[in-house]
């Protein structure tokens, strides 16, 4: 008689009950890859076509500031400082800051960023950091929605990377149930297309109206025979008179009138629609207008609130980068044989925040001092 009941075999890995089971068919995978590639090309062209978008992303990256990694162990601190200052990034740069900025640029532009730690030939230390192009890799869902698999694309064949512990990825605001990040430029293609149409129309109107074109009309008298040679002669004389490299007079016979084509037409006012479109773009990018050179009407109080909102946005982006920095530094220390703890500390975003915090601490200290002295006086009177 079997006294012990047979235990059920536990499944390997965590099972997510609310996730839909997906069938990885080659056709569905190919269509998904092509759609994301088209979106990435669209976002890339947006940055090339609309300078405001490119300037906003560059300013967001610069406003992130710099960071330091501190450890209690002096030897670990020496290893960390040497790595952060001298690590090779993408073959041409030096230092971890360049890698982080490039990583953040890919994350904001495409909603996805992929990086890799490159080991030495003996595999005992990290010698370089590489920012992978989002066009060369593909992020897919593994056996579970909690398991992300990073794959490479070689001649249309998608294969998972061999050493997955050296590769990492970040998704920006992924939609629930998907492994696709949302670009910061999401929602801007339509607005940007309208803005570009206005700029294109301005260019066309200035080519038509700014570069003046003339209409020459000759009315011969009743007893004059006007032939094709006469018209050609008038056209040649007018062409000679309008040459920019020479100054000459226009000579003709008969009643000749010259009018400017389009002189009575005016170029439509485009300041208001352009401002409305730029307001939508700036609101999506999350930067105050004055940082992009727009002198729109705003009060000092409004500027302070916009700066506070920008600070919260930058703090959010920093939280996305902290796990990546932690993973890199932890790998560096473990390859050196250390498992000590460390902390990633970012610099203050601006001095205005530090001044406000110091003033708040000073006011609190004064309030505590006044309360202490007031309570002491009351106690002395009671005695």
Kindly list the averaged pLDDT for each block of 10 residues, start to end, along the chain of length 383: 43 58 51 69 92 92 91 93 92 90 94 92 91 88 81 83 90 86 90 91 77 74 69 77 69 72 69 88 86 69 69 90 95 92 86 59 83 72 61
> Pairing state of beta strands 126-132 and 88-89?
parallel
pLDDT at 331: 94
pLDDT at 100: 94
Q: What is d(CA 170, CA 324) in angstroms, rounded to the nearest whole number?
A: 8
pLDDT at 376: 63
pLDDT at 334: 93
Q: What is d(CA 338, CA 97) in angstroms, rounded to the nearest whole number?
A: 23
Which residue bears the tokens 């990492």? 168
How do the domains of the chain map onto residue ranges?
Answer: 26-186
3-class secondary-structure state, position 282: helix
Which residue bears the tokens 């000459």? 248
**CA-based Rg of the chain, rounded to a whole angstrom?**
34
Helices (H) then strands (E): counts for the chain: 9, 12
pLDDT at 270: 81
Q: Are 69 and 343 within 8 A, CB to CB?
A: yes
Q: How far apart are the first and last CA of the chain?
A: 86
pLDDT at 5: 43
Q: What is the pLDDT of residues 11-40, one digit of tens each?
A: 445 666 666 655 555 544 444 555 678 889
* Joined tokens for residue 49: 């076509």
pTM score, whole prediction: 0.73
The candidate with the shortest Cα–Cα distance to 173, out of 253, 251, 107, is 107
Instruction: Tell the burial category of 375 from Cβ atoms under 10 Å away from its Cβ (0-12, 13-18, 19+).
Output: exposed
């Amino acid at each position: 008689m079997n006294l012990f009941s047979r235990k059920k075999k536990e499944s390997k890995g965590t099972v997510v009950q609310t996730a839909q089971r997906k069938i990885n068919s080659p056709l569905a995978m190919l269509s998904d890859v092509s759609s994301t590639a088209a979106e990435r090309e669209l976002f890339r062209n947006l940055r090339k076509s609309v300078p405001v978008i490119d300037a906003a992303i560059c300013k967001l990256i610069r406003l992130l500031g710099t960071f330091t990694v501190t450890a209690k162990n002096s030897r670990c601190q020496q290893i960390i400082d040497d790595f952060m200052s001298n690590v090779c990034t993408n073959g041409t740069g030096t230092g971890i800051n360049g890698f982080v900025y490039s990583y953040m640029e890919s994350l904001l532009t495409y909603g996805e960023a992929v990086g890799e730690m490159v080991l030495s030939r003996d595999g005992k230390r990290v010698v370089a950091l590489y920012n992978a192009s989002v066009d060369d890799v593909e992020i897919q869902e593994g056996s579970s929605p909690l398991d992300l698999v990073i794959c490479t694309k070689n001649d249309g064949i998608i294969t998972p990377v061999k050493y997955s512990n050296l590769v990492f990825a970040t998704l920006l605001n992924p939609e629930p149930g998907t492994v696709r990040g949302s670009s910061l430029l999401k929602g801007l293609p339509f607005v940007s297309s309208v803005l570009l149409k206005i700029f294109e129309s301005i260019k066309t109107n200035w080519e038509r109206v700014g570069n003046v074109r003339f209409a020459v009309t000759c009315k011969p008298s009743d007893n004059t025979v006007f032939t094709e040679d006469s018209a050609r002669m008038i056209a040649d004389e007018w062409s000679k008179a309008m040459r920019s490299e020479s100054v000459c007079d226009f000579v003709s016979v008969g009643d000749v009138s010259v009018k400017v084509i389009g002189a009575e037409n005016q170029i439509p006012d485009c300041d208001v629609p352009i401002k409305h479109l730029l307001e939508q773009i700036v609101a999506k990018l999350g930067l105050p207008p004055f940082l992009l050179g727009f002198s729109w009407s705003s009060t000092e109080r409004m500027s302070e609130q916009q700066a506070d909102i920008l600070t919260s946005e930058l703090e959010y982006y920093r939280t996305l980068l902290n796990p990546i920095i932690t993973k890199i530094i932890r790998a560096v220390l473990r390859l050196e044989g250390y498992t000590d703890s460390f902390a990633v500390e970012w610099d203050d975003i601006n001095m205005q925040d530090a001044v406000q915090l110091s003033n708040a601490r000073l006011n609190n200290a004064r309030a505590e001092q006044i309360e202490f002295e007031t309570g002491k006086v009351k106690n002395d009177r009671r005695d």
